[in-house]
Structure 1
Amino acid sequence: MQQSPPLGSAPALADDYAARGFPVRADLGQHFLRSSESARRLVDRAEIPSGGQVIEVGAGLGTLSATIAAAGCRLWAVERDERLQSQLEQRLGEFGGRARITIDDVRRVDLDQGLEAGSTLVSIMPFAPVLAAALVRHVFGSPRLVRGLVVMPVLGADLLVADEASGLRVEEVDGIAREDFYPPAPSVLRVVAIERSRPCSK
């Protein structure tokens, strides 16, 4: 198994990985956030209740994760790529029990067991539109989740809007530059707020 590059400074961490030629996984729609400022803006946009629980799907290098935890939230970071486990542990170790890491596909995780009622999803979804939409639908299958703020390709957001059966209300609230990621996003991105338009039937 390939080891993660050494920990770099927070704003340039993704650039450190890029400089070392770290191979991103296209099958996961994997891209890493380069900008701590963008991470702070996303957390501000999410309007998370004080001390609230956040689930992050696709925690990556932990740039957004650390920003969420530093804001006083209780974080559950789920990341599928096992190569990133040690990096996440380093990045989130200072937050102790307030930051929990699970290395697995979120679709194999018992969300109802780990989430509290009223939890929020804050994530940068894979930059593969169909996968991004599928993961959002899956996570919102837990009735414990009430709202979300995610970065996703515009086509993924369109898929959610068109899927009336999902019971989700999707609203574009911001944009984010493709160049804020390593590698740069291949298509236009949107920051979308997600809420339920009807109670979860689960």
Structure 2
Amino acid sequence: MSADPGAGRLPPLREIIARHGLSASKALGQNFILDEQLLDRIAAIPGPLAGERAYEVGPGPGGLTRALLRAGAELVAVERDRRCLAALDETGAAFPGQLRVIEGDALAVDEAIEAGPAHVVANLPYNVGTALLVRWLGGEAWPPWWKSLTLMFQLEVAERIVARPGSGAYGRLAVLAQWRSLPRLAMKVHRSAFVPPPKVMSAVIHIVPKPQPEGVRSATLERLTAAAFGQRRKMLRRSLQSLPGALEALDRLGIDPSRRAETLSVEEFVTVARELSAARTG
């Protein structure tokens, strides 16, 4: 017998989906996972969640939701698809007091107020996943409101998050993810695990924050990487010429301006951003 109180009162996910007439919306970037063992494995990635607060974006019919509730999380879930709300209410009723559902667009929710501090665990809708990640990685306040991020992405995006300098996947997203947090590729997920199956493979990324390097503003690093990788095939002397003080910073640091952005390490980007941050406050 299952140890969690809700398991015996919830029908299989396929029955929930059929009863509520749900189908994945392409417009909302939805792809459902029905394999409960896989969902339990994803819910376990952040570590023990019993008594911990968790935050989920785009729960859909509630597959990952019930896995997080089974793990003992106190869950806040944001869903903009009204069709899914009745199914989520049914899931919440099986786990009294553990689930709060917010109807709305996750991009408009103040997570720090509604959920934080929390472990974010989500099979993110493809059409907003990267935008949400960049938002959660940004901002001057650090440590952030989230304790960890466990997020499903297309495999190509996941590889960009963990990429190393010099690789084809290395770019702005890698620098923003790695300069003050530790991302790892926790699990690859075959396309056949989803309903409907997407055209590409997926992967789960796990990210935990680390101390922020001193003397560096997040906004400065964001501007620097946007300029550097906005014209990634060009040398830094060309891609950074529109960013005030950037070429002078390269000269002071002894970084060859004929290099291209993908050859600079995360640490080198941080060093340049520190020079620019100092110049701005000096």
TM-score by length of 2: 0.60
Q: Percent of pairs identical after alignment? A: 23
Residues 123-155 of structure 1: per-residue CA shift (max 9 Å, x gap): 111234xx3211222344582102111111012
Question: Rg larger in 1 or in 2?
Answer: 2
SS of 1:69 mapped into structure 2: helix
SS of 2:198 mapped into structure 1: coil
Structure with the largest fraction of strand: 1
CA-based RMSD: 2.6
Instruction: Flag the 1:48–1:106 CA change in 2: closer, same or farther, 3 A.
Output: farther
Matches within 5 A, 1:10-21: 10-13=12-15, 16=18
Matches within 5 A, 1:99-114: 99-114=99-114
CA–CA distance in 2 between the matches of 1:66 and 1:91?
7
Deviation at 1:95, TM superposition (A): 1.6
- Alignment of 1:157 onto 2:188: no
1:30–1:126: 8 Å Cα contact kept in structure 2?
yes
1:14–1:32: 8 Å Cα contact kept in structure 2?
no
- Alignment of 1:74 onto 2:74: yes
Looking at both structures, which has the greater relative contact order when contacts are Cα pairs under 8 Å and sequence separation is at least 6? 1
Residues 42-84 of structure 1: per-residue CA shift (max 9 Å, x gap): 1122214431111011111101101111211100111121111
Match of 1:137 in 2: 134
Deviation at 1:34, TM superposition (A): 1.4
- Alignment of 1:121 onto 2:120: yes
1:62–1:92: 8 Å Cα contact kept in structure 2?
no
Deviation at 1:197, TM superposition (A): 4.4
Aligned length: 190
Matches within 5 A, 1:91-106: 91-106=91-106
Deviation at 1:158, TM superposition (A): 3.6
Match of 1:3 in 2: none
SS of 2:68 mapped into structure 1: helix
CA–CA distance in 2 between the matches of 1:14 and 1:189?
24
SS of 1:97 mapped into structure 2: coil
Q: Which amino acid aligns with 2:186?
A: V
Instruction: Flag the 1:69–1:140 CA change in 2: closer, same or farther, 3 A.
Output: farther
1:55–1:121: 8 Å Cα contact kept in structure 2?
yes
Question: Which of residues 183, 188, 194 is equivalent to 2:196?
Answer: 183
CA–CA distance in 1 between the matches of 2:156 and 2:146?
23
TM-score by length of 1: 0.81
Instruction: Flag the 1:9–1:98 CA change in 2: closer, same or farther, 3 A.
Output: closer
Structure 2 alignment gaps of length 5 or more: 1-9, 163-170, 220-282
